[in-house]
């Protein structure tokens, strides 16, 4: 992002990105437990931001780990026992009510649900000097929230860490449970560069308008 400030704390419509994200889930369910996982050296800064911006969404903060796997595991341990868990990227602040509803609706009978979108570009696999075409109709881009039955995700995270785990679905799949795909949302972008911030600003402006 070219900034000294972690991207989740950058401003979006005048407030930190992370606040928008948490509000999306609070809007979906005012009674939902929210556990926020942050690096230990970012927690004090976040607490100051909450005071500065008068942020009132109730949440619990836990310390992250050296890999995503361990951060999610810490977050799960910060939850009281429940039926289902949604794991979401803090820098996806445009996640919509309909998408969250779709994921929670399907998880009741599918146990593990993730939202995906289809690529619009042609897809190739391999290296720059040797590659082959892939059928993009059979390729999906994975989003969050990824939603799981509570007991299942807790058991899956008792397995050992594998560097091939890139998301929570891969942990559950390694545990031996299949993943159900649901339609994602192209607007549910993960903010990784300055252009994404500008696009998120546009989406929020249009939603408010």
pLDDT in tens, 159-197: 999 999 999 999 999 999 999 999 999 999 999 998 999
Distance CA 146, CA 169 (A): 7
* Count of domains observed in the chain: 1
Domain membership flag for residue 27: yes
* pLDDT for the residue 204: 86
- Are residues 191 and 91 in contact, defined by beta-carbon separation less than 8 angstroms? yes
Domain membership flag for residue 64: yes
- Per-residue pLDDT at 209 exceeds 60: no
Distance CA 156, CA 45 (A): 32
* pLDDT for the residue 208: 55
**Residue 145 preceded by cis peptide, ω within 30:** yes
Residue 29 DSSP SS3: coil
What residue numbers bound the domain in which 180 lies? 7-208
Residues 6+ apart with CB under 8 A from 176: none
pLDDT in tens, 68-91: 999 999 999 999 999 999 999 999
Domain membership flag for residue 56: yes
Domain membership flag for residue 1: no
Q: What is the CATH number of the domain that holds 147?
A: 3.90.550.10
Distance CA 16, CA 46 (A): 9
pTM of the model: 0.94
* pLDDT for the residue 205: 80
Domain membership flag for residue 23: yes
Residue 36 DSSP SS3: strand
pLDDT, the chain, mean:
95
**Phi, psi (deg, nearest 5) at residue 172:** -65, -40
Domain membership flag for residue 2: no
Residue 190 DSSP SS3: coil
């Amino acid at each position: 992002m070219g900034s000294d400030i972690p991207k989740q704390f950058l401003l979006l419509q005048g407030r930190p990105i992370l606040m928008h994200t948490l509000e999306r889930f609070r809007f979906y369910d005012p009674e939902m437990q929210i556990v926020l996982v942050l690096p230990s050296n970012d927690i004090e800064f976040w607490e100051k931001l909450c005071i500065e911006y008068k942020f009132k969404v109730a949440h619990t903060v836990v310390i992250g780990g050296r890999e995503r796997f361990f951060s999610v595991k810490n977050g799960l341990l910060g939850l009281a026992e429940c039926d289902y868990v949604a794991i979401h990227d803090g820098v996806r602040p445009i996640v919509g009510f309909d998408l969250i509803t779709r994921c929670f609706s399907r998880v009741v009978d599918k146990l593990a649900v993730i939202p995906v979108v289809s690529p619009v570009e042609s897809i190739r696999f391999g290296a720059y000097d040797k590659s082959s075409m892939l059928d993009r109709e059979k390729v999906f881009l994975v989003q969050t929230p990824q939603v799981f039955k509570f007991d299942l995700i807790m058991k899956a995270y008792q397995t050992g860490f594998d560097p091939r785990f890139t998301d929570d679905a891969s942990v559950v799949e390694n545990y031996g449970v299949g993943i159900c795909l649901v339609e994602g949302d192209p607007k549910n972008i993960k903010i990784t560069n300055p252009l994404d911030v500008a696009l998120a600003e546009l989406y929020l402006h249009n939603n408010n308008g």
